[in-house]
Amino acid sequence: QKEVEQNSGPLSVPEGAIASLNCTYSDRGSQSFFWYRQYSGKSPELIMSIYSNGDKEDGRFTAQLNKASQYVSLLIRDSQPSDSATYLCAVSGGYNFNKFYFGSGTKLNVKP
């Protein structure tokens, strides 16, 4: 079982819709959760971090964390074609405190 699981996609949404990206993790003791955006051929860019249960909003992005269900999600409101990228979920601070695990990423396509 992988430490972090993501659906590889592609997830296709029309422009202006809400894109919902999901991630589950296996280490119940994990404490820090991150979302990265990676455009094709580029390096990952940190876009959101969340550390406690609930929602965290930043512009059009909302990260949601449910530690009881071991589930993290990223919502992108008013999706734009420029949001088309691969989104990586990352988790750290669990049983092996120094470990930092990346998911394999979900590819998002926003259609004009």
Partner 1 sequence: EADIYQTPRYLVIGTGKKITLECSQTMGHDKMYWYQQDPGMELHLIHYSYGVNSTEKGDLSSESTVSRIRTEHFPLTLESARPSHTSQYLCASSELGGKFFGPGTRLTVL
The residues binding partner 1 (CB under 8 A) are: 32, 34, 36, 40-46, 49, 88, 90, 98, 100, 102, 104-105
* Spatial distance between the Cα atoms of 92 and 56, rounded to a whole number of angstroms: 18
Of 2 and 18, which CB lies nearer to partner 1 in the complex structure? 2
Quote the least distance from Cβ 107 to partner 1, whole Å: 9
Of 18 and 46, which CB lies nearer to partner 1 in the complex structure? 46
Quote the least distance from Cβ 72 to partner 1, whole Å: 13
Backbone angles phi, psi at 19, to 5 degrees: -95, 135
